Amino acid sequence: MKKVVIMGGGIIGTMHAYLALKEGYSVIQCEREQIARSASIRNFGLIWVSGREVGAELEMALRAREIWGEVGAAVPATGFRANGSITIARNEAEWQVLQEAAAMPDADLRGFSLLVKEEVTALEPVLAGDFIGGLRCTQDAAAEPNRLLVSLREYLKADENYRWMPNFDVMDFYHSETGNHIIDVKGQTISGDLMVMCPGSSHQGFLSSFFADAPVRRVRLQMGATVPLPAKLGHSVADGDSLRYYPAFKDLSLAALPPQSEIAARRKMQLLMVQRLDGTLTIGDTHEYDEPFDHEILEEPYEHLSGVISAIFGRTAPVVSRRWDGVYSQSTSSETYFRKAIAPGAIVVTGGGGRGNTLSPAIAEETMIQWR
Ligand SMILES: Cc1cc2nc3c(=O)[nH]c(=O)nc-3n(C[C@H](O)[C@H](O)[C@H](O)COP(=O)(O)OP(=O)(O)OC[C@H]3O[C@@H](n4cnc5c(N)ncnc54)[C@H](O)[C@@H]3O)c2cc1C
């Protein structure tokens, strides 16, 4: 039985572990923290097919969505649910873009349908504010980021061929004729036939040579969560600002959109919102591209998001009770993510950007196919 070593306990590493066990490998997965606590638990938990670029990226997202369905069925504690999404148009120009999106040749693949306001409200009574209509996407789904990794880990641990090694902070790698090896800060070594490093946005330390001149950058986001909404909101929700960020819509009539609000433009914001199983709403986000990143959590994005939510709800948004930030690694080339061979049988995989959670099972599957 071939041994696979995975560095990184985030969703990319964990999906590699999940699929590698299914492929019949024995798996050791290590993580520098007690539990992984970076991008994969700080995100919305969205599996977001609707915004993916026409062509290869959409195909990958659809395949990922299929595997997510299998993962969700195998591990219900992930909170995976095919809840769908609604992108809301609050002005005529946004509505025009949504109409064009609903008429795209691949609209059926994405599960798109156009809903006038009354239809949106009939589906989601909470969405009763001042808007024209929405674009529903039945392929979009969500999982619970705060339960996802823990529940997948428990599932994996039940397999005798899986070993989890937390607090293993890798500081070096080498390849020899016996395989691939990583060494942690305490001098412990893990060896395997195959190795995949999934470090997320940690591009530094011993990894820095693998990232020299690599087409990846880091992006910082601000997020928040409200107190529980005393009503159910099944679908995830996006506002019209999201149309500017998702490549699916790049050839539509975006030039006719009115300027974003000053704060949304300055902080590169959109509204994404998903109700957690405890009733709270996860909301965001901002985008910061220039390093060094600001170390502060700023208040003005939350004031903006609360205003947009209140307009879409037609009543005051629930109060924001928690705030955090997160950093992801994003490919800046035409490749959907960053994959680099560093030695025979050893690769670095990251750079999934704001779609890393969505694509994670398909990214891991591409590794499995290469290893066959
Ligand atoms: C705020 C925010 C919101 C987002 N929302 C979404 C969303 O809704 N949908 C979506 O598809 N994507 C979303 N994303 C993107 C997505 O979360 C990421 O692309 C994805 O989680 C990346 O997973 P990862 O496993 O590569 O990285 P990470 O989650 O960062 O995990 C990497 C792990 O590797 C470990 N590690 C690093 N170096 C070492 C070392 N030397 N030794 C041992 N361990 C090491 C780290 O401790 C970490 O736990 C969002 C990201 C952010 C930040």
Residue 296 shares a structural domain with residue 230: yes
Residue 309 shares a structural domain with residue 166: no
Residue 244 shares a structural domain with residue 340: no
Tell me, what's the pLDDT at 246?
96
User: 264 CA distance to ligand 1 centroid (A)?
Assistant: 24
Do 359 and 53 touch, CB atoms closer than 8 A?
Answer: no
Tell me, what's the pLDDT at 103?
98
Cis before 292 (ω within 30): yes
Tell me, what's the pLDDT at 319?
98
Residue 105 shares a structural domain with residue 233: yes
User: 326 CA distance to ligand 1 centroid (A)?
Assistant: 9
- Residue 73 placed within a domain: no
Q: Whose CA is nearest to atom 5 of ligand 1?
A: 43
Q: Which of 32, 48, 328 to mutate to test the pocket of ligand 1 (most atoms within 8 A of CB)?
A: 328
Residue 111 shares a structural domain with residue 154: no
Residue 287 shares a structural domain with residue 307: yes
Residues at CB less than 6 angstroms from ligand 1: 7-13, 30-33, 36, 38-40, 42-46, 48, 168-170, 198-202, 221, 223, 285, 326-328, 350, 352-358
Q: Whose CA is nearest to atom 4 of ligand 1?
A: 43
Residue 180 shares a structural domain with residue 244: no
pTM: 0.98
User: 155 CA distance to ligand 1 centroid (A)?
Assistant: 20
From the alpha carbon of 200, which atom of ligand 1 is closest? 27
Q: Whose CA is nearest to atom 41 of ligand 1?
A: 170
From the alpha carbon of 274, which atom of ligand 1 is closest? 8
Tell me, what's the pLDDT at 102?
98
- Residue 50 placed within a domain: no
Q: Whose CA is nearest to atom 33 of ligand 1?
A: 8
- Provide the angle, in degrees to the nearest 10, between the axes of the packed helices 56-74 and 356-371: 90
Tell me, what's the pLDDT at 47?
98
Tell me, what's the pLDDT at 205?
94
Q: Is 212 exposed, middle or buried (0-12, 13-18, 19+ CB in 10 A)?
A: exposed
Residue 262 shares a structural domain with residue 131: yes
Number of domains in the chain: 2
* 3 state DSSP class of 216: strand
CATH number at residue 309: 3.30.9.10
359: amino acid identity, one letter? L
- Residue 355 placed within a domain: yes
Residue 351 shares a structural domain with residue 220: no
Tell me which H or E stretch contains 225.
strand 216-226
Residue 162 belongs to domain spanning: 3-43+147-214+334-371
- Residue 53 placed within a domain: no
The secondary structure of residue 206, as a DSSP letter, is: G
CATH number at residue 186: 3.50.50.60
- Residue 34 placed within a domain: yes
Distances (CA, A) of 102 to 109, 110, 326: 11, 9, 32
Can you give the pLDDT of all 372 residues of the chain as single tens digits? 999 999 999 999 999 999 999 999 999 999 999 999 999 999 999 999 999 999 999 999 999 999 999 999 999 999 999 999 999 999 999 999 999 999 999 999 999 999 999 999 999 999 999 999 999 999 999 999 999 999 999 999 999 999 999 999 999 999 999 999 999 999 999 999 999 999 999 999 999 999 999 999 999 999 999 999 999 999 999 999 999 999 999 999 999 999 999 999 999 999 999 999 999 999 999 999 999 999 999 999 999 999 999 999 999 999 999 999 999 999 999 999 999 999 999 999 999 999 999 999 999 999 999 999
- Residue 65 placed within a domain: no
From the alpha carbon of 205, which atom of ligand 1 is closest? 41
Residue 323 shares a structural domain with residue 341: no
Residues 6+ apart with CB under 8 A from 19: 67, 361, 364, 365, 367, 368
Q: Is 238 exposed, middle or buried (0-12, 13-18, 19+ CB in 10 A)?
A: buried
- Residue 304 placed within a domain: yes
Structure tokens at 266: 């300055």
Tell me, what's the pLDDT at 126?
98
Q: Which of 30, 44, 150 to mutate to test the pocket of ligand 1 (most atoms within 8 A of CB)?
A: 44
- Residue 56 placed within a domain: no
User: 9 CA distance to ligand 1 centroid (A)?
Assistant: 9
Residue 95 shares a structural domain with residue 224: yes
Q: Which of 40, 53, 185, 329 to mutate to test the pocket of ligand 1 (most atoms within 8 A of CB)?
A: 40
Tell me, what's the pLDDT at 358?
98
Residues 6+ apart with CB under 8 A from 209: none
Tell me, what's the pLDDT at 370?
96
User: 261 CA distance to ligand 1 centroid (A)?
Assistant: 30
Residue 128 shares a structural domain with residue 182: no
